[in-house]
Chains A and B, each alone.
Chain A
């Protein structure tokens, strides 16, 4: 079945440091890939997505590129802020060749990010 593997956390960085959170996946078909963020006490929010190979998703300074050859979707940010402290989830949704999603999300285990001033 489908699965998503994220780098183990927690990750602790100083403000303005470079962030990478690794994510690899196993899927059949044509998965779409997502990064969700969960701030303390809140639900998940979609951070960015990519629906096909070589697509780059970006939002709020975060980026991730869909790499089919390495089955990866690593999250990066050039300069993190204290406000980026949260739990980050990589996820996939299977889709058919036409790009129609099957709906359900399969999540990685989450990576806790703490950014210190």
Chain B
């Protein structure tokens, strides 16, 4: 158990809908990362937050957005969902924004039908 929690574990929704994925980092970690794992794209970095502020952006679509709240939990919002958004979404956390070690949550599996 990494100490990173993600909810829900599974999510099934229809095209065009909007969903919110939630992540709670390990106690004491200030930085949160979101990654997407899909069969065709592999594991890709989406976005990083540190202490409530966005620090780095990767291959995140404009339909996706994220935020980190004062209690340090983070949410990833996915809207106007398409079939291709079906993937496993991982959250990871680290102590600082430059820490070498990231601790991954168990992931949320999103299926868009």
Could you tell me which A residues sit within 8 Å of B by CB distance? Answer: 32, 36, 41-46, 49, 51, 89, 93, 100-110
Contacts and interface: CB of A to CB of B under 8 A. Distances in A.
A43 B106 contact: yes
Interface stretch (B12-20, B64-72, B74-82, B97-105): B97-105
A32 B48 CA distance: 18
B42 A49 contact: no
A101 B90 contact: no
Contacts of A42: 106
Interface residues of B, number: 27
A4 B99 CA distance: 20
Give the interface SS of chain B, mostly helix, strand, loop or mixed: strand
29 contacts: A36-B104, A43-B2, A43-B90, A43-B106, A44-B90, A45-B2, A46-B102, A49-B100, A49-B101, A89-B43, A100-B98, A101-B98, A101-B99, A101-B100, A102-B56, A103-B31, A103-B33, A103-B56, A103-B97, A103-B98, A104-B33, A104-B56, A105-B45, A106-B45, A107-B42, A107-B43, A108-B42, A109-B42, A110-B42
